[in-house]
Amino acid sequence: MRPIALLCLIAWAGLAGCAHTAAVPEADLATVLANPARSAADRERDGRDQPAAVLAFAGFRRGERIADIFGGGGYYSEILSGVVGDEGEIYLVNNPPYDNYAKKDLTPRLADQRLRNVRYAVRPNDDLQLPKDLDGALIVMSYHDLYHAAPDQGWAAIDAGQFIEQITAALKPGGVLLIVDHASAAGRGKLDADSLHRIEESFAIADFKAHGLVFDGKLDVLRAAADDHSKNVFDPAIRGMTDRFVHRYRKPR
């Protein structure tokens, strides 16, 4: 084996393979975000969610196959459509309650095949039917919903372990899972998922580790020191300004 090839193998063992193309840089992400076809509402959300920094951290690449799980109205799916390009595919998957909640945004976003590389599916929680050998997946501000139950409002309890196992099984070795969610106070674990729609950062790390994924770094661009973690994320006093953690996990090779 040539020395260069050996170094490449050592450097990327258990992570991304040498044949992968470079992650899309923030400059190219800025071009995707500047697409005039994007809605005014999405552009306004960019200021709160910092998608250029978040997706640069995720390291998704052109030509990849990415699942946007519980992606709601498809804000990230549209951005990722431009990131992966015509050679890639985005799988936007909602369960029936999320589909009902997001129809107002989904209908114009997906109309007339304007996002031709986005495949939309509505699936039950225990049968997501994610494509195999995904390069990546993301759950943005919806991971805590795996521990939320409100049957009277149409949100049935989810078997979180089985749900995460579906994602782990669908990712190819070296594949990335990106998680963004509202932080709970230290020591709260999953206890605030129902009342505040929050989840503790350390709980998330242990949760995904228990299902075979490796914690591969975090990004602090969405942290908010002014959030004391005591308010429901929909409270007008804090909505859009919550303290959020951004995690990258990877399936070992």
Q: What pLDDT is attached to residue 25?
A: 61
Q: Grade residue 28 by pLDDT with cuts at 50, 70 and 90.
A: confident
186, part of any domain: yes
Q: What pLDDT is attached to residue 26?
A: 64
Average pLDDT estimate for 203-231: 98
CB 204 within 8 A of CB 141: no
5, part of any domain: no
Average pLDDT estimate for 225-244: 97
Average pLDDT estimate for 225-250: 97
Average pLDDT estimate for 15-29: 55
What letter represents residue 237's amino acid?
A
Q: Which domain holds residue 36?
A: 23-250
Instruction: Give the largest CA-CA distance in the chain.
Output: 63
107, part of any domain: yes
10, part of any domain: no
14, part of any domain: no
Mean pLDDT of the chain: 91
17, part of any domain: no
Q: Which two tokens stand for residue 123?
A: 């699936």
Nearest-angstrom CA–CA distance, 22 and 7: 17
Strand partners, 93: 69, 121
CATH number, domain at 136?
Answer: 3.40.50.150
13, part of any domain: no
147, part of any domain: yes
Q: What pLDDT is attached to residue 151?
A: 92
Nearest-angstrom CA–CA distance, 28 and 19: 21
Q: Grade residue 124 by pLDDT with cuts at 50, 70 and 90.
A: very high
Nearest-angstrom CA–CA distance, 71 and 85: 19
Q: Residue 126: phi, psi to the nearest 5?
A: -95, 5
The residues near 235 (Cβ < 8 Å, ≥ 6 apart) are none
The answer, yes or no, to whether residue 117 has pLDDT greater than 80, is: yes
Q: What pLDDT is attached to residue 37?
A: 95
Count of structural domains within the chain: 1
- Its pTM surpasses 0.85: yes
Q: What pLDDT is attached to residue 33?
A: 96
Summarize pLDDT for 46-60 with one digit per residue, the tens. 999 999 999 999 999
Summarize pLDDT for 86-101 with one digit per residue, the tens. 999 999 999 999 999 9
Summarize pLDDT for 126-155 with one digit per residue, the tens. 999 999 999 999 999 999 999 999 998 889
* Beta strand 89-94 pairing with 65-69: parallel
Q: What pLDDT is attached to residue 11?
A: 38
- What residue has token string 């209908």? 107
